[in-house]
Amino acid sequence: MLDFQPREAPVRSGNRKVRFGAFEIDPDSGEVWESGQPIKLQDQPFKVLRLLLEHHGDLVTREELRLRPRRKYRGRQAPGGPR
């Protein structure tokens, strides 16, 4: 269980690392640590985490979270699209 307080502001440390609770991320390298131990995150979840930290305290819309370009399909509905 994560012990993250929503109102807890992330703290920047040297060379752009961001700390919040027991976690630390380096937005430039894509590295994440929990209590000093490295955590592997896939690219998309890391981008969402970085976006949320960059906009701490702000409302982030669903559209802003759509980081992956939508695929275009010819002649058929995209998977997961409206039914």
pTM for this one? Answer: 0.60
Paired tokens of 11: 């703290």
Query: Per-residue pLDDT tens for 3-59?
Result: 444 455 665 655 678 888 899 999 888 899 999 999 999 988 898 888 888 888 888
What dotted CATH number matches 11-65?
Answer: 1.10.10.10
- DSSP, collapsed to helix, strand or coil, labels residue 42 as coil
Cα 71 from chain centre: 21
pLDDT of residue 70: 58
DSSP string, 44-71: HHHHHHHHHHHTTTS---HHHH--SPPP
Residue spans of the domains in the chain: they are 11-65
